[in-house]
Every structure is written in C-alpha cells, then in structure tokens.
Amino acid sequence: MGTFQAWDWIIVVMYFLLLAGITWWVIRKNRDTADDYFLAGRNLGWFIIGASIFASNIGSEHLVGLAGSGCTDGVAMAHYELHAWCLLVLGWVMVPFYMRSKVFTMPEFLEKRFSPTARWILSVISLVAYILTKIAVGIFAGGIVFSVLLPEMSLTIGGMVLDSFWIGSIVVILLTGLYTIIGGLRAVAYTEAIQTVILVLGSVLVTIFGLKALGGWSELRAICGSDMFNLWKPMVPAGVESTWAPVSEPGRMAWYFNDNYPWLGMLFCAPIIGLWYWCTDQYIVQRTLGAPNETQARRGSICASFLKLLPVFIFIIPGMICFALASKPELVGDVQVLRETLFNSDGVLIRDEAQKAFPLLVATVLPTGVRGMVVAGLLAALMSSLAGVFNASSTLYTMDFYSKFRPKASQHQLVWVGRVATAVMVLIGLAWIPVIKGGKGLYDYLQGVQAYLAPPIFVVFFLGVFNKRLNSKGCVSALIVGFVLGIFRLAIDTPVKLMSDFSYAEGSFFWIVNHIFFQYFSLIILVVCIAVMLIVSYFTREPSYEHISGLTYGTVTDEHKKESRSSWTRLDVLFSVALVLVIVGVYLYFRG
C-alpha cells in the first residue's frame, strides 16, 4: 500500500495554511454581532451559497458510507443523490417564505407560522438529530479515514492507548471546531467554497486513476455486472417485475419484513427524507438565510442541485471500482491489500470493511503528490460537513434557547454562548460513536436515523405552508407524536446494534418493530403525523390569518407575489429544467 511521501505532506500542510488564511481574513472582517456570526451578515453570493450547501452535505457519510455502499450494493444508494431536485423545491417553493420572514433558524420560522412552543420542540428535535447523525457520523468517518491512511499511528495518554481511528476523530474535531468557533458562518461558508473545489477535483482523480488501474469503464461494468449497475433492481424484487408487488421472500410481505431498498420505500420514503433535509433542515437552509435577497438564495439552491449530482460519479463509482479491483485475482502489488481487506478467506465481501473503500483506493492507486491532494480533499469533506453542523447547532441553541431565557443578552454574549455550544455538541457526539460502529454501515445508519426523525418536521413545514387552516395545536401535536415514535424505534434498535449477542424473542412486539424496514416505519410515522395535524387543527380554533400573512400560500399578498416574480428570470427556469432532464438521463442509463 502506498505511503505518505514528502510531497503528500507538503500539499496537506498547504491546505491547512489556506484554511488558516481564510479564517484570519474572516476574523478581521467579522463584526461581533449575532447577525454577522450566525448568518454572515446576510451577504453571501449565489456561488458561495451553492458551494457551501454542497460541501456541508458532501461529508463523512459520502466519503465513507456512500463509497462503502457502492462497494457492496453498486448504484443502489444513488437514489438519494438523485434527489437533487429537492433543492429546486427549496429555491422555488420554500425560499420566498424564508426570505420574507427574516429568520435566523428554521424553528424561528415555525414560531412565526405557528407558536413559540412549536419553535422550542423543533429546536430540541433538530439538536437530537444533529447529535445522532451529523456530528457523530462526521467524527466516526474521520477516524475511518485516518485508520486506513495512517494505520500505524498510536498515542498513549495516562496508560490508555489511542489508535489511529481515535486520533483521527479527535484531530478532525479540534481543527474543524477551531475555525468554526472563531469565524462563524462566514468562515464556514468561504472555507467550504474552497473545500468544494478541492474535494471535487480530488475525487475525480480517484475515479480516473482507479479506472486506469482497473482497465477502463468497460472492465468495471464486466466485473460488477448488471445488478450493481441497475438503479431499478433495488426497487423491483425479482419475480414480481410485472406487478411491482412489494414481495421479497416467498410467503412474506416486504412491508413487514426487512428488505434491501424495496421500491415502495424508495418511491415514497426517500423523497420525504430528501425534502425534509434540503428544504427544512437548519444545517442546509442556513446558507440560503445568509443571502441578501431571494434571487441569490434561489440561484444558490440551483447551483447546489447541480453539484449534488456529482457524488454518484465521485463516490459511488470509486466504491464500485474498489470492489472490482479487489475481485481481480490477476492483479498484484498494492491491489492485493484491497483483496485482503475487503474479502474473507472464503472470498465473501466483508460489509463492515467496505466502509474503507474510498480511503483504500486513495492509498493504493494514486501516485505521490496526487495522494496528498486527494487526502486534502478527504479532510475538506470531513471538516466542511462538521463545520456546517457545528455552526447550525450553535445557532439553534443560542437563538432558540439562550436568547429566550436571556432576552437582554448582548450581541457579544450571544456569540460567546454559540461558541461554547459547539464544544458541548462535539463531546456528546463522541459518546455516540459505538452505536454507529455496531450498525450495518455508515450510510445505512444515517438514512435510518433520518427516516425516524424527518417525517414530523416535513409534515409541519409543508402542510403549514400549503394549508393556512392548520394551527399551532395541530403542529405541536404532530411534532410530539412523530418525535416519540421515532425515538421509540431508535430505542428498540440501539441494543441490537450495540450488543452483537442481543436479540428480541422472535414474534414478540419489540422483534416486530425492530424488523419493520426503516423506510416503512418512516412512512407509518408520516401517515400518523399527517392525521394528527389535520384532526387536531380542524377540531380547534383556526389561526389568525393576519398573524401569518406571507407565511402560507393562502395568505400571500399581491405585493408578495410581485416581489417574488421579479426575483427570477428565464435563465433560472432553464437551468432548473436542465437539472431535471439530467436526473432522468442518469436513471435511464443505470438500468443494468
């Protein structure tokens, strides 16, 4: 396996010097105010917004989890990446409401639309979601990358030996937390724009050198076979193509028993998670809130939607390349490391080891110098993902909790509290890593947790915007019921993930809950939340329509419509249509 040489280290050091320079520039430019620290003074341009959204999203779960999924399941997980159209929904549907409301956070928008109670509940749910997903996953992936690239690294502290996994996790946290705490959203956004360029370029090089080592695209298709190149197969079980019935095993119903990405879940659940994530999550939407106007926010969303298509080719395909290289017995040299790592003595792929696919490819197929640049790209993705969630978490805590309890707090105090909140979230995330390590895979873990927490948030935002009759009681009821159902499922799943010898009695209630496919359980939560919100709202008093003016389609004034119409041109529409056509083209190509 290739090792780091002098030029590799020089390039990595240059990357960190670049980050340090940007952070220093931001520190000198920043004013000590909440608006500047949390929303970059609402002065971000469309490219910075788009690149920042992309860099925040394309992080640890893609470097480790998505590439690992490509190694084990081929293009199956590309469905989630092809939900780039959700960013068009953000730009065209939700951005006008967010920009008119002039809010700092998504929970604050719920307060304006519904009530302060709704704001508080969503803030709690969002912080829990960040701890269980983005922070812990980012830390875990940093450790995975270091354990592959620098496996011999270790450190002894007080008799306790830290291996390269834990050293990598801690280093990524400290470096990312440092520039996030100091510079706020402006530092996050501008560093992410640079990191996007480094990440994309580095990942493209991995794909190019990987295909060169393998023998080209045709060789990849020949080794992986039509199944791994088939986007439709995970959705249409063998033997039922004509009916699309959700049946996975003879005599068993797939809606009840576990299955690999059945069509019903991908068709209905995946878009719900996508719309929640891209259109209502503070982690993503905060970038558009930093725009000076609706035009820049929308164009930033459109820009991000095109960038979002890249992971199919720069993460999933490298994962498949790694599998193909390891499957060729005639290849020798560094490639043997791939075979020894990914396959057991019987030639069976080890799913847990597949999470190392991307860093393994970096370590084996790239020449000196290029390896250093790609590792800088890996670190860029890990750090940008964590930086985004650190900033979003501190914004939520400071603006939705602390400022409510201390309404007279100075701007300086708000900024200081936001920095402290970042450090606390990191420590909590560290404690959750063992749960991730016990799961099926990083990307599966992430999609599962999001599937349990997303439905109630999706329901209250989208139904709240499209139906002016829905009130705060309905919103609060749906949030509470959905959150309880999601946490209940997580509580049932956690012992199984943590303890390899633990299982529920077959046929028991807990066993049934644990074995319902995560996407189907998510749909159950969705239906329950919709029913709860509608029933409670229509059986209680209607809201004051003057109070929610401009926050729903039913209360948008002619002045609002005129302002929104003047914010876009035919070129914005053209690019939006082009994105949809590209997505359709990808689906048509990956048919096995």
> Are residues 386 and 456 located together in one domain of the fold?
no
DSSP-H helix ranges across 539-569 = 558-565
Instruction: Give the SS3 label for residue 591.
Output: strand
> Are residues 364 and 456 located together in one domain of the fold?
no
> Are residues 371 and 273 located together in one domain of the fold?
yes
419 lies in a domain? Answer: no
Task: Kindly state the helix (H) or strand (E) to which residue 71 belongs, with its residue range.
Answer: helix 67-73
At 158 the pLDDT is: 66
Instruction: Give the SS3 label for residue 254.
Output: coil
Instruction: Give the SS3 label for residue 245.
Output: coil
At 81 the pLDDT is: 84
417 lies in a domain? Answer: no
Other residues' Cβ atoms within 10 Å of the Cβ of residue 38? 26
> Are residues 380 and 453 located together in one domain of the fold?
no
Q: Is the dihedral of CA 194, 198, 201, 204 positive or negative?
A: negative
Residue 168's CATH number: 1.20.1730.10
> Are residues 146 and 273 located together in one domain of the fold?
yes
d(CA 336, CA 339): 5
Task: Kindly state the helix (H) or strand (E) to which residue 155 belongs, with its residue range.
Answer: strand 154-157
356 lies in a domain? Answer: yes
66 lies in a domain? Answer: yes
At 442 the pLDDT is: 55
d(CA 501, CA 498): 9
437 lies in a domain? Answer: no
d(CA 165, CA 112): 44
Task: Kindly state the helix (H) or strand (E) to which residue 364 belongs, with its residue range.
Answer: helix 357-365
Full residue range of the structural domain in which residue 384 is found: 6-391
40 lies in a domain? Answer: yes
Looking from the CA of 2 toward its CB, the CA atoms found within 13 Å total 20
> Are residues 373 and 457 located together in one domain of the fold?
no
Size of the chain in residues:
592
What is the separation of C-alpha 250 from the centre of its chain, rounded to a whole number of angstroms? 35
416 lies in a domain? Answer: no
> Are residues 224 and 143 located together in one domain of the fold?
yes
> Are residues 387 and 456 located together in one domain of the fold?
no
> Are residues 387 and 453 located together in one domain of the fold?
no
Contact 322, 332 (CB under 8 A): no
At 42 the pLDDT is: 66
Q: What is the pLDDT of residues 117-175, one digit of tens each?
A: 999 898 888 887 777 677 766 666 667 667 766 666 677 776 667 677 677 767 777 77
At 529 the pLDDT is: 97
> Are residues 283 and 353 located together in one domain of the fold?
yes
At 259 the pLDDT is: 44
At 184 the pLDDT is: 60
d(CA 71, CA 430): 27
Q: Write down which residue in 353, 374, 391 finishes a domain.
A: 391
372 lies in a domain? Answer: yes
Place of tokens 């995946």: 270
Residue 280: both structure tokens together: 């209502």
User: Can you give the pTM of this predicted structure?
Assistant: 0.78
> Are residues 354 and 493 located together in one domain of the fold?
no
- Give the count of domains, the chain: 2
d(CA 408, CA 271): 41
Residue of 536, 560, 538 whose CA lies nearest to 548 = 560
Which stretches of the chain drop beneath a pLDDT of 50? Answer: 1, 236-259, 439
Percent over 70 (pLDDT), the chain = 76
At 196 the pLDDT is: 75
DSSP structure string for 189-229: HHHHHHHHHHHHHHHHHHHHHHHHHHT-HHHHHHHHHHHHT
> Are residues 368 and 462 located together in one domain of the fold?
no
